[in-house]
Chains A and B, each alone.
Chain A
Amino acid sequence: MSDATAQDEAFDAETFDDSHVLDPAATADSQETISQEITDIHEAYRKGVEAGEAQETQPRIDFAPYRSSLLRHPTKDLHHTDPETIELWSPAFGERDVHILESDLTIQHNGEPLGERIVVQGRVLDGDGRPVRNQLVEIWQANAAGRYVHKRDQHPAPIDPNFTGVGRCITGPNGEYKFTTIKPAPYPWKNHHNAWRPAHIHFSLFGTDFTQRMITQMYFPGDPLFPLDPIYQAITDQDARDRLVATYDHSVTSHEWNTGYRWDIVLSGSNRTWMEEGEEH
C-alpha cells in the first residue's frame, strides 16, 4: 500500500478529467426509465425460468440499464474450453506479500477515521465447499461520507484524512478472512439522473485455480437503493443477488467497539484433480 499522505497531495494537485467516467448520452435518463428497463428484463427472465430455462447465478454482461456496459461487453458467446496446466494453478501469495495490519483499515493514519466502525468477516470457499487457504483478499471502499480516495471521484462529500479505504489479508487455514473498517455510505454516480449506488465494499479474490479469479461487491442488508441500482440488478436472479448481501451478526459485534457483519464467498468450482489432505505439497 502506498503512502496515503503523498497520494492525497498528488491527487489534490491534479486537474480532474472526468471524460472516462461520464457517459453524456446516459445522464439524461430518469430513474423511472432505468427502473422500467430493469423491470422488463427481470420479468422476461422470470418467464424464462418458469418455462424451464436455467436459473442465472452471475450478472449479465450485456445489461443496458448500466449504460457503461453497452460498448464494453462481448457480443459473442464465451467460448467453452477445458482449463490447461497454468489455468489449473493460481499465483501464490503469503505473509511476504501482506502485512497483518493491512486488514485493519482504521489504523492506517494518525487518527481515528469518522464513521461506524465495523468488522466484516467470513470464509472463502470453492464450489465444492473446500476452504481456500493462504490466498489474497483485497478490498476497497468509500468512506463514511460516500467519498473515495481517488482523483476521479469528485462527489462533493468530505475526504477523511484518516481513511484511505484499502485493505488486504491472506486467508487462514479454514479460508477465513476478517477486516476492521468503517461502514461506507452510498454515493451518487453518472449512469442516469439522480443515480445512487447502494453502500458496498469491493472484494478481489483468488482461488486455487486462476479460472476462479473474481472481483465483486459486498452490500449491506436492507439497503433501500437495491431496486434502483443497475449494477446490482444486472444479476437478474433474486437468490443470486442475495449472495452479495452480508448478514448482520451480533457475535461479530463487540462490546462498545464495533458492529459486525458476516459474508462468505464461494468461488467457482476448482478443475484441478485434488489430492487427499496430507498428500498436498
Chain B
Amino acid sequence: MGESTTKLVATPGQTIGPFYGFALPYEKDSQLVHRAHAGSIRLHGVVTDGNGSPIPDSMLEIWQADEHGEISRETGSLVRDDHTFTGFGRVAVDNVGHYTFTTVNPGPTEQGKAPFISMVVFARGLLNRLFTRIYLPEDTEALANDPLLSSLPEERRKTLIAEREPNGDLRFDIRLQGEGETVFLSYPGI
C-alpha cells in the first residue's frame, strides 16, 4: 500500500475531563522500575493552578531514556513485569495535587547533552495537553549549553530544572499559571 505524503491538518485536542479515572490509570502505572531496583529514585511534586491551589484531577505522563541514555523500544508499559524498562509512566495526581513516579535518572541520550525527562500534562479545565521537560540538575555545563534552557531568561529556566533532594529524590512542581509558571513547549508542526 502506497503512503501518501499529503500534509494533513491535525485533529484538535480536547480536555481529558474529570472522568478518566476508571480508564487511563492502571496497575503500577507510575512505577517505571521497581522500588528495589538499584538506582531507583522518586520523582515527585505538586500540580497547582493560578491561585496556587492543587489540581487533584490532573494526569501526568513521563517518557525517558534509561540510566545509560538508551531509549527503550520494549513493549509492556501496561503490564509491568518489574524487570523490563519501557521508559513510559503515567500517574493520576492525588487528592492534594501530589504525584510520585518511581524511576531512574536518565543518562544523556547524546554525548554532552543535558539529560531530561519528557513530560505531558493533562487536566480537567485544560483544553489541550501541555508538554514540558524535567532536566536533571547535576551537569551544570551541559545545562548551560542546552539550546532550550539558554533561550530562556533565568527565572523561567529554573522552572524546568528539577531539585535534587538530600535522599536522591527529584522534586519537580508544575505550575499551570501565575507565579513561577512552568515553561510549556511547542514543537515544529504542532
Contacts and interface: CB of A to CB of B under 8 A. Distances in A.
Interface of A: 1-2, 7, 20-21, 57-61, 63, 66, 68-76, 78-87, 89-98, 125-131, 136, 138-140, 142, 148-153, 164-166, 168, 174, 202, 204, 210-217, 231-232, 234-235, 239-241, 243-244, 265-269, 271, 277
Contacts of A265: 11
Contacts of B86: 91-92
A271 B63 contact: no
Interface string B98-131: 0000000010011001001110101111111111
B51 to A, nearest CB: 6
Contacts of B186: 78-81
A152 B18 contact: yes
A63 to B, nearest CB: 6
Interface in B76-91: 76-79, 86-88
B40 to A, nearest CB: 19
Given A72-B177, A74-B184, A215 B71 contact: no
24 contacts: A20-B124, A57-B12, A72-B49, A72-B177, A76-B181, A79-B148, A79-B152, A80-B186, A81-B147, A86-B65, A93-B77, A96-B79, A97-B76, A97-B78, A127-B9, A128-B8, A130-B3, A148-B19, A164-B22, A202-B17, A211-B190, A214-B129, A234-B14, A268-B189
B31 to A, nearest CB: 14
Which are the 6 A-B pairs with shortest beta-carbon distances? A68-B125, A269-B189, A140-B23, A91-B88, A129-B4, A85-B109
A269 B190 CA distance: 7
A90 to B, nearest CB: 7
Contacts of A125: 8
A91 B72 CA distance: 7
Question: Which of A61, A66, A126, A142 has most B Cβ within 10 Å?
Answer: A61
A79 to B, nearest CB: 5
Contacts of B178: 75
Interface residues of B, number: 84
Contacts of A68: 124-125
Given A92-B72, A243-B11, A244-B11, A210 B184 contact: no
B78 A93 contact: yes
Given A61-B127, A81-B148, A268 B10 contact: yes
Contacts of B125: 66, 68-72
A271 to B, nearest CB: 6
A57 B61 CA distance: 24
A113 B11 CA distance: 30
Contact of A268 (B78, B79, B190): B190
B19 A140 contact: yes
A58 B13 contact: yes
Interface of B: 1, 3-24, 26-27, 49-51, 53, 55-57, 61, 63-65, 71-79, 86-88, 106, 109-110, 113, 116-118, 120, 122-131, 147-148, 151-152, 156, 176-178, 181-190
A211 B22 contact: no
A96 B75 contact: yes
A266 B10 contact: yes
A210 B49 CA distance: 25
Contacts of B78: 93, 96-98, 136, 168
B3 A129 contact: yes
Nearest to A140: B23
A78 B10 contact: no
A269 B5 CA distance: 11
A153 B57 CA distance: 13
Contact of A215 (B64, B73, B88, B122): B122
B61 to A, nearest CB: 7
B71 A86 contact: yes
Contact of B24 (A78, A138, A244): A138
Contact of B10 (A70, A86, A202, A267): A267
Contacts of B14: 59, 202, 215-217, 231-232, 234, 244
Nearest to B74: A92
A94 B75 CA distance: 6
